[in-house]
Structure 1
Amino acid sequence: MGSILVTGASGTVGRAVADALVAAGEHVVSAVRDPASGGDASGVSITPGSEARGFDFSGPSGWAKAFTGVDRLFLLRPPAIANVEETLLPVIDRALEHGIRHIVFLSMQGVQFNTMTPHHAVERHLKKRKAPYTFLRPNFFMQNLSTVYRDEIRDDSEIYLPAAGAHTAFIDARDIGRVAARVFTEPGHLSKAYTLSGEQSLTYDQVAGVLSEVLGRRITYARPTASEYSARLAARGATADFIAVQQMIYRIVRLQVSAFPNRAIRKLTGTPATSFRQFAIDHQALWE
């Protein structure tokens, strides 16, 4: 049995996947840009017990070394990568040449209906190559509230997102890690696609209410319009690409595409999905 190469290993989902795989007794290779530091360029650490190896989607010369002794691949698209034809698709081709026997790809919910997304292109390529794949299609991450939107919650006691009154069945990235570990280590998951949602569907008013109770201070949901939200991002120096992605995400949210809970995590792992309240308790210090 070979190792599992986890791309994005110092990020939210990649780290969760590596954590779950190490806990399951697998030998994990954490792909990072700076293996000497045991993390990424900003010093973010990788999972203890995993092996750090250098890997750069834009640097094919290092891929062969990264794949040495590896027979399975967890593949995700870093947010900064838009052109998957020049990055992720060649990685898939190299992995198949290397003899990788299972590629688990972190896709996105509803990708099968959204042909313009880079995730759709990656799924299409994996199918075209008849690759041994499994697609994980998660809902909106709870961790976005503790990372991307953390500062406004911590400093302004406000959630400022253009979701209107829509519901979202948020998912904890740690649950994605648990699912990935099962998919990699159990038979029966090849050529499958799993839509992963939490078991609760919450509005952002309800999210603010849970955070208020956990943090012991009032957190409000501002309900900006899409144009107001984009204007604030632009004023804070966000790039046009980032703003466009945010517009797409919250257009989907307002259409209630992300509203539907399911029990896929429970079925795949044997334990329920993490509730938002438990997530807030676990990450309380990040907003204080």
Structure 2
Amino acid sequence: MPKSASRTPAAPTPASPNPAAKSNKPTKPQPDSQPQPTPPYHRDAIFHHHGPFSPSFMTEAIRTLVRTLPLDPDEPQAWQDRRAHAALLGLAALHPRDEIEVMIGVQALAAYHAASACWRIGMNLRRPHGESTRHITTAASAARTFDAMLRALERRQVKPLAVPIGRPAPRIWTPDDENPSATMDHMLDRCLATRNRDAANDLTEPPIAWTEHDLAAAREFLERERIEQENEGLDIANTEGILPGGGMIVMEDPTPQQAAYLARRVGLGYRREFEANRLKGIHQLPKIRPIRPGDLIP
């Protein structure tokens, strides 16, 4: 019987280190690559003197918002101050990122206070009537406006601004930034300088000097053009009885040309009367007056 050869298992050879092989262990991020935590930003910073927005802009925005608040003269001053402070807290809660979002927030809060005031007027009555139901309808409309303004602000805040993402950083505002009058004076000086420079470079003809004869001719031309427009479509050449001033006396049996002319003069008279009343603040139509034979139609 042949002798079986003994087999001994070969010792495992150590694997050569491969620097290119990927390790399954998660790599520890470097300290520099970790995102830095955003520093806390107080939402009331928009009202600070050195906040992200110009002090003059925020002062005007606050003034506009406070002027929309419903104020009751009979309530204590502390209640009015509390309402104004609550409105400012509501504006800060919207987290506006630029001046446009501040204006949207002011409009939204104005609509909210309008709805609240109309709810109070429409609901604080024992039995509803025409006035109360009208105020309730107005309150519902203002409430829908408030919701629409909030949705518009939310849609805008979803998109990043053109500036880096995040809340705007505080700024150091100079005294010129806090003085709107100085800013407007500076802009006025710039506009005047540009206009003067353009006027110096503009080679135009000298201004026209109107003489009394030229003014009289212009008035005569305008008067003739007005009469032609008033008599457009009428047969003036075959219309008898026209007075020098353009008027006519109503006859017993006018011809078709005279009837058309009288109707045109009556309509022009009512139009002139309506325009004169509008200058006096009266917007009602003139009363139609009867016309009798012998009346003078100017």
TM-score, length-scaled by structure 2: 0.18
Higher relative contact order (CA 8 A, sep 6+): 1
TM-score, length-scaled by structure 1: 0.18
**Structure that is richer in helix per residue:** 2
**Structure that is richer in strand per residue:** 1
- Select the structure of larger CA radius of gyration: 2
